[in-house]
Structure 1
Amino acid sequence: MNHTILIVEDEKGIRETLAIFLRNQGYSVIQAINGKDALEKVTKEVHLAIVDIMMPVMDGIEFTCKVREEFDFPIIFLSAKSEDIDKINGLNVGADDYVTKPFEVSVLLARVNSHIRRYEQIIRLKQTTSNSKKLVVRGLELNQDTKEVFVDGRQIQLTAKEYYILELLMSYPGKIFSSEEIYETVWKEDAISTQTIMVHIRKLREKIEVDPKNPDYIKVVYGIGYKIEREK
């Protein structure tokens, strides 16, 4: 599969340098100078976006909020800021990863390759519609073949990470998973910080719960972890 990367970066030097390295890796590249420009260029052919946070006209946060209304491809944020609050804000609006400037291009490319592999797996699974495998917990339904999720018959859009967290919890209703277990299962790497899990759980609740502050499905067991409730 020929993968297309969208680079959204107002600094021409960074944007064009990344484009050169990505093309050398075999990727097709679309360049945009800000979020507004990127929204006009984004299509279903985009497999991943590298997005700067601080940009004129429309910044990376606003762009991600808008693009997440329709698309679920991975988004890697770039920012000159290193404070934890910026990372949390980025994850809150739907980013999948975060790289702080200045960065090693080789490290960014490794993350791009990793996210593309996982996203490609999801695309392939969505194309398989036979022998459908479903997980059902009350009004919550997850199709493991098509990667579709429904709440009371209404389809909802999840990011890749949100989907895999929900799939893990729904596969074992009532079982409590610690934040570390969730991170290591979904990210497939050692858990260094589990704050990401808290952010993703909150976003999941906003999408599947009638009242996210009083959830019926995803419950927290304080000091231990999270679980999907079998019954109300």
Structure 2
Amino acid sequence: MNNKKILVVDDDEDICLTIKQYLELHHYQVETVHSGAEALKMISGDVDLIILDIMMEGIDGMELCRMIRDRVDCPILFVSAKTLEEDKVQALSIGGDDYITKPFSLKELKARIDSHLRREERIRSNERYLLSSKNMTIDLLANEVFCKGRKLPLTKKEYEIVKLLMLNQKVVFSKERIFERVWGIDSDSQLDAVTESIKNIRKKIKAVDPETSYIQTLYGLGYKWDVSNEKR
């Protein structure tokens, strides 16, 4: 069962009804409004895609897109009788994701909707494997850490320490606990390897972001990942 919610904004009530009935046959949830002012009251973060007519009285589609683009990150699909290239370019440049000219096929409209929503799903799926903290991002699939967009040249053990601390932010880990989790209790390495690795991690981070101390030392207790007291 499709639970995706689509908002149709068009001052032509017949077009709204036609789109609504067709998409509901394909199990989409569809809301319709007939002006930009009405749309402003309806638009929220739970809308998965917006179909937006350009030529409406009052707040037209272009103006509405400018007003809402910073508030919603869902795809916006413009529909319009305007066929000039500059109209399409303008619509896409202000935040639209697609442009389809009237009259259009309902099958084509649905195909474009499906395509945009599949892309959004792929993006959301990938984001589940990214963990960010201020200027640091860890890609849990690629086993890579980035600071201000630059990949940090971490060793395998250094990466494992960063991952452990970032996944458990503000949790204090003793050197012994870090050693057991990263090296293993049967390792021939010494406990000082933890101190040395954290020293190296800090050095590599500082080379890119000298203003932030991501790994905090609690003397006599251990280490934790905490940027809550850092300058924004």
Which residue matches 1:23? 24
User: 1:44 and 1:127, CA in 2 relative to 1: closer, same or farther beyond 3 A?
Assistant: farther
Match of 1:145 in 2: none
Query: 2:98 corresponds to which letter in structure 1?
Result: D
Q: How far apart are 1:128 and its partner, in Å?
A: 4.2
Q: Partner of 2:59 in structure 1?
A: 58
User: Do the aligned partners of residues 135 and 56 (structure 1) sit closer, same or farther apart at CA in structure 2, a change above 3 Å counting?
Assistant: farther
RMSD between aligned alpha carbons? 2.2
- The TM-score with structure 2 as length reference comes to 0.56
Mapping of residues 115-134 of structure 1, within 5 Å: 115-129=116-130, 132-133=138-139
SS at match of 2:48: strand
Alignment of 1:103-122 (within 5 A): 103-122=104-123
TM-superposed CA distance for 1:83, in Å, is 0.5
| Structure 1 residues not aligned, in runs of 5+ | 143-232
CA deviation map 1:17-40 (0-9, x unaligned):
000011111110111111221111
State which structure, 1 or 2, has the greater radius of gyration over its C-alpha atoms. Answer: 2
The CA distance in 1 between the partners of 2:45 and 2:150, in whole Å, is: 25
Q: CA deviation at 1:71?
A: 1.1
* Contact 2:138/2:145, CA 8 A, preserved across alignment: no
Instruction: Report the CA distance shift for 1:135/1:88 in structure 2 as closer, same or farther (over 3 A).
Output: farther
Secondary structure class of the residue paired with 1:44: coil
- Could you tell me how far 1:140 is from its partner in structure 2? 4.6
Task: Measure, in 1, the Cα distance between the counterparts of 2:91 and 2:145.
Answer: 30
CA distance in 2, matches of 1:101, 1:129: 40
Query: What residue number does 1:32 align with?
Result: 33
CA distance in 2, matches of 1:50, 1:95: 10
Q: Give the match for residue 98 of structure 1.
A: 99
- State the Cα distance separating 1:114 from its structure 2 match: 0.5
Matches for 1:9-20 after TM superposition, within 5 Å = 9-20=10-21
Matches within 5 A, 1:1-232: 2-129=3-130, 132-133=138-139, 139-140=148-149
Q: Distance in 1 between matches of 2:66 and 2:102?
A: 22
- What's the secondary structure of 1:98's corresponding residue? strand
> SS of the residue aligned with 2:78?
strand
SS at structure 2 position matched to 1:72 = coil
Alignment partners' CA distance in 1, 2:34 and 2:150 = 40
8 Å Cα contact 2:83/2:101 also seen in 1: yes
- Deviation of 1:122 after TM superposition, in Å, equals 2.1
- CA distance change for structure 1 residues 29 and 85 in 2, over 3 Å: closer, same or farther? same
Deviation by residue 1:142-181 (Cα, 9 ceiling, x = unmatched): 9xxxxxxxxxxxxxxxxxxxxxxxxxxxxxxxxxxxxxxx
Give the deviation of 1:81 after TM superposition. Answer: 1.0
TM-score for both structures, normalised by structure 1: 0.56
Distance 1:126 1:132 in 2: 11
Displacement of 1:9: 0.5
Q: Distance in 1 between matches of 2:109 and 2:145?
A: 35
SS in structure 1 at match of 2:17: helix
**Shift in alpha-carbon separation, 1:2–1:128, aligned structure 2, 3 A:** farther
CA distance in 2, matches of 1:38, 1:127: 30
